[in-house]
């Protein structure tokens, strides 16, 4: 099963840190943010990784290379600047991801989720239950108190429906290429495609109550660094 790391954005709210350093290469806990993902993907049994790049792409490609140091094979999906947003970026990379479902991880999140729990058997024809996407959801953080989607009995819906719990999309999910059927190349967000699939009851989800950080600002980056430093100190 292949995986994609979304790493094309500039990280405007992290500037000036990201003016000269791509957001995925900013360090926390002694290693670049994207290295955490690569280590966990390798440990979970993933082998082939697609990374999209647009802002300072050469620096990311030079830092990560072909992925062999992690026991991975990395290929890059190049985008012109400005980047294609989440939906457009995944759509552009479909030819590299193949016809089977694949995992997508936002490059600017950090989580202790066991990615092996999301790994489908090799050659799986589709997601369970005919789903077009399966999203990992987390309790709503202070910067997104209203949440994104409603999780009820393992299915995700727009928050206008009663029942269940409105949660925040973690930036980690499984996707069937069929979710993008009919989409045109170019710059577009992912959420409208997900909502359309939810209207057809074809999006499933799970709740993760473990550690999760969206490193979208310098304050959140500082909070992650503090947490990782404390964990390192307690383990030594």
Residue 236, pLDDT score: 65
Residue 38, pLDDT score: 98
Contact between residue 56 and residue 22 where contact means Cβ atoms under 8 Å apart: yes
d(CA 161, CA 3): 32
Cα dihedral sign, 60-62-68-70: negative
d(CA 130, CA 95): 22
- Per-residue confidence in pLDDT tens, the chain, 236 aa: 999 999 999 888 888 889 999 999 999 999 999 999 999 999 999 999 999 999 999 999 999 999 999 999 999 999 999 999 999 999 999 999 999 999 999 999 999 999 999 988 776 778 988 999 999 999 999 999 999 999 999 999 986 677 789 999 999 999 999 999 999 999 999 999 999 999 999 999 999 999 999 998 999 999 999 999 888 777 76
- Domain residues of the chain, as ranges? 3-235
Tokens linked to 195: 């909502």
pTM of the model: 0.95
Contact between residue 46 and residue 119 where contact means Cβ atoms under 8 Å apart: yes
| Percent of the chain as helix, strand, coil, to the nearest 5 | 35, 25, 40
Residue 124, pLDDT score: 73
- CATH number listed for the domain at residues 3-235: 3.90.550.10
**Which positions ≥6 away from 234 have C-beta within 8 Å?**
none
């Amino acid at each position: 099963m292949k995986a994609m790391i979304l790493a094309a954005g500039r990280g405007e709210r992290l500037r000036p840190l990201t003016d000269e350093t791509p957001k995925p290469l900013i360090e926390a806990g002694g290693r670049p943010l994207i290295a955490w993902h690569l280590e966990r993907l390798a440990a979970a049994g993933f082998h082939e990784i697609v990374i999209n790049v647009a802002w300072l792409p050469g620096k990311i490609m030079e830092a990560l290379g072909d992925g062999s140091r992690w026991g991975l094979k990395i290929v890059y999906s190049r985008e012109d600047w400005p980047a294609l947003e989440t939906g457009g970026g995944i759509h552009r990379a479909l030819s590299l991801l193949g016809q089977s479902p694949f995992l997508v991880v936002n490059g600017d999140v950090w989580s202790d989720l066991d990615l092996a729990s999301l790994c489908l058997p090799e050659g799986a024809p589709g997601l369970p239950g005919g789903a077009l996407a399966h999203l990992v959801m987390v309790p709503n953080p202070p910067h997104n108190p209203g949440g994104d989607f409603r999780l009820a009995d393992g299915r995700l819906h727009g928050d206008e429906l009663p029942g269940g719990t409105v949660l925040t999309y973690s930036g980690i999910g499984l996707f069937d290429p069929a979710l993008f059927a009919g989409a045109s190349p170019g710059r577009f967000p992912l959420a409208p495609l997900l909502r359309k699939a939810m209207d057809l009851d074809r999006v499933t989800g799970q709740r993760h109550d473990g550690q999760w950080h969206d490193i979208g600002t310098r304050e959140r980056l500082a909070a992650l660094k503090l947490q990782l430093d404390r964990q390192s100190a307690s383990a030594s």
